[in-house]
């Protein structure tokens, strides 16, 4: 179906929990754990110091020395010991904390839109890989915001850091099928619930990167009267680098969810980035020609690359010859918020809209990586008053 109006992503909103984790302080706690080997201590220091992160956020009050801890499940302040609660305990906290963030982010996105209200919403797509429960967050949003019981609800669970991209793609497909659809997309990730002390290099890298955050936006093709900062969702593409299947994975253990994130991931992404992104631009003359000539950064001005870590951004920048300014939104989100799994790329897109002097008509490439090794990408255009 040809659509005369663009399918737009608008009213992007983000939330981080109140607990701020200073990277240096968290590093010192992890490095001081008595069970760590000397090699593991060195790896903790190198991973935390080389992460490109200064602050992260968490829902766990006991990790913030300025607040009175309501429990001692993850960290004993007197002994300085990191504890390892079971998966059920971690998931119970997820159920309580995540639903509050889902509702708050969804409400904030709707409140930010000058033309849409709760009764306009026809679909909800929720995203998370850090907890499970049913009825889930999609149900919680419907009840809390007073949406119609007939709103179509979909949850993308346990896909990993790239999951907000297929959520946006699904939302765009709903809008192609029904040009009057209004789709609320909400991602909440509470990654700090699964951090633990370990000699395992994968767990150490995860502990140095992951954090908590929430993001929400509205996807619609409706003709609305008020121009607002937004993106048109032009095209999506999925690619797999099967040689990285064992280098990035996400499984459920007895003491929380367990991340496999090997040091080979940035190199694999760098080696596959051109093949993964090429089809995204193939139908556009200017990006396609620029890509063939090795100057894709000239044709695509903005880059919402999921900051899975500093080294990933370095490899992408070097391989595609992007400027420091083009990677600044991703690096800034990493610096201030860490890796919030699926929510992170939405933080980067919001940064581009609000803080990068983006002008109507400029192109954006968004890309996120996850288990598989899967790369999900999208081509967008900045909307607004010309």
Condensed to tens digits (0 to 9), the pLDDT of residues 269-313 reads 999 999 899 999 888 877 888 888 888 988 899 999 999 999 999
Mean pLDDT, rounded, of the chain: 94
- pLDDT over threshold 80, residue 194: yes
Q: Which of the two residues, 77 and 305, has the higher pLDDT score?
A: 305
| pLDDT tens digits, 241-274 | 999 888 888 999 999 999 888 888 999 999 999 9
Contacts of 242 (CB under 8 A, 6+ apart): 372, 373
Q: How many helices (H) and strands (E) does the chain have?
A: 12, 15
What's the chain's Rg over C-alpha atoms? 20
Of 161, 175, 191, 337, the active-site residue reads: 161
**Tokens 């159920």 found at:** 95
- pLDDT over threshold 70, residue 232: yes
The Cα–Cα gap between 184 and 152 comes to 10
Average pLDDT of the residues in 359-386:
91
Backbone angles phi, psi at 167, to 5 degrees: -65, -45
How far, rounded to the nearest angstrom, does the alpha carbon of residue 49 sit from its chain's CA centroid?
A: 22
- pLDDT over threshold 60, residue 2: no
Average pLDDT of the residues in 311-329:
95
**Percentage of the residues of the chain whose pLDDT score is greater than 90:** 83
Query: How many CB atoms lie under 10 A from the CB of residue 315?
Result: 19
189 with 130: CB under 8 angstroms? yes
User: Which of 64-68, 294-298, 336-340: highest mean pLDDT?
Assistant: 336-340
**Percentage of the residues of the chain whose pLDDT score is greater than 70:** 98
Give the E-state strand segments of the chain in sequence order.
8-15, 19-22, 55-58, 75-76, 81-82, 123-128, 152-157, 182-190, 212-220, 230-240, 248-253, 256-261, 302-305, 363-370, 374-383
The Cα–Cα gap between 6 and 381 comes to 10
Q: Considering only the C-alpha atoms of the chain, give the largest distance between any 2 of them, rounded to a whole number of Å.
A: 64
**Amino acid 35: pLDDT:** 92
State yes or no: is 191 an active-site residue: no
| pLDDT tens digits, 118-152 | 999 999 999 999 999 999 999 999 999 999 999 99
Q: Sort 296 into a burial class: Cβ within 10 Å, 0-12 / 13-18 / 19+.
A: buried
**Amino acid 101: pLDDT:** 98
Average pLDDT of the residues in 22-45:
95
The Cα–Cα gap between 173 and 190 comes to 28
Average pLDDT of the residues in 41-48:
96
Query: How many CB atoms lie under 10 A from the CB of residue 36?
Result: 18
316 with 272: CB under 8 angstroms? no
**Amino acid 221: pLDDT:** 97
Give residue 1's pLDDT band: very low, low, confident or very high (50, 70, 90): very low
Q: What angle do CA 265, 343, 301 make, to 5 degrees?
A: 75
The Cα–Cα gap between 107 and 13 comes to 10
Backbone angles phi, psi at 78, to 5 degrees: -65, -45
- pLDDT over threshold 70, residue 163: yes
**Amino acid 81: pLDDT:** 92
The Cα–Cα gap between 302 and 283 comes to 18
Q: Which of the two residues, 246 and 103, has the higher pLDDT score?
A: 103
The Cα–Cα gap between 231 and 8 comes to 5
7: left (phi over 0), alpha (psi -120 to 50) or beta: beta
Show the tokens assigned to 181: 């659809």
- pLDDT over threshold 80, residue 21: yes
Of all helices (H) and strands (E), which one includes residue 312? helix 310-320
**Tokens 């996807």 found at:** 219
The Cα–Cα gap between 69 and 75 comes to 10
CATH 3.40.50.1820 fits 230-383, yes or no: no
**Amino acid 22: pLDDT:** 96
Give residue 72's pLDDT band: very low, low, confident or very high (50, 70, 90): confident
Cα dist. 327→54, 184, 273 in Å? Answer: 17, 27, 15
140 with 97: CB under 8 angstroms? no
Task: Estimate the share of the chain in helix, then strand, then coil, as percent rounded to the nearest 5.
Answer: 40, 25, 35
- Alpha helices of 5-136 — where are they, by DSSP H? 23-31, 38-49, 87-112
Q: Which 3 state secondary structure label does DSSP give 51?
A: coil
């Amino acid at each position: 179906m040809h659509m005369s109006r663009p399918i737009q992503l608008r009213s992007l909103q983000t939330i981080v929990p109140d607990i701020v984790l200073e990277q240096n302080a968290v590093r010192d706690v992890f490095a001081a754990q008595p069970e760590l080997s000397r090699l593991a201590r060195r790896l903790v220091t190198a991973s935390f110091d080389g992460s490109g992160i200064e602050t992260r956020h968490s829902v766990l009050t006991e990790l913030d020395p300025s607040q009175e801890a309501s429990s001692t499940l993850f960290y004993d302040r007197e002994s300085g010991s990191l504890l390892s609660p079971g998966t059920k305990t971690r998931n119970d906290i997820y159920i309580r904390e995540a639903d509050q963030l889902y509702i708050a982010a969804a409400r904030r996105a709707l409140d930010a839109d000058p033309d849409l209200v709760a009764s306009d919403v026809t679909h909800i797509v929720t995203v998370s890989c850090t907890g499970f429960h049913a009825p889930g967050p999609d149900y919680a949003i419907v009840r809390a915001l007073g949406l119609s019981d007939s709103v179509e609800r979909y949850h993308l669970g346990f896909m990993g850091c790239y999951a907000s991209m297929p959520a946006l793609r699904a939302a765009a497909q709903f809008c192609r099928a029904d040009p009057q659809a209004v789709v609320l997309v909400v991602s909440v990730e509470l990654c700090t619930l699964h951090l633990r002390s370990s000699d395992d290099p994968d767990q150490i890298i995860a502990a140095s990167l992951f954090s908590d955050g929430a993001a929400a936006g509205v996807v619609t093709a409706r003709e609305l009267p008020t121009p607002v900062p937004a993106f048109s969702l032009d095209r999506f593409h999925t690619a797999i680098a099967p040689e990285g299947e064992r280098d990035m994975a996400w499984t459920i253990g007895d003491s929380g969810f367990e991340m496999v994130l090997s040091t080979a991931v940035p190199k694999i992404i760098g080696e596959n980035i051109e093949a993964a992104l090429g089809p995204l631009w193939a139908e556009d003359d200017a990006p396609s020609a620029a890509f063939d000539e090795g100057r894709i950064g000239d044709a695509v001005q903005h880059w919402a690359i999921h900051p899975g870590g500093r080294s990933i951004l370095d490899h992408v920048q070097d391989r595609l010859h992007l400027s420091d300014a083009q990677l600044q939104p991703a690096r800034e989100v990493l610096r201030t918020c860490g890796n919030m799994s699926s929510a992170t790329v939405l933080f980067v897109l919001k940064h581009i809209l609000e803080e990068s002097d983006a002008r109507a008509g400029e192109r954006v490439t968004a890309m996120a990586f996850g288990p598989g090794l899967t790369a999900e990408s999208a081509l967008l255009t900045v909307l607004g008053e010309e």
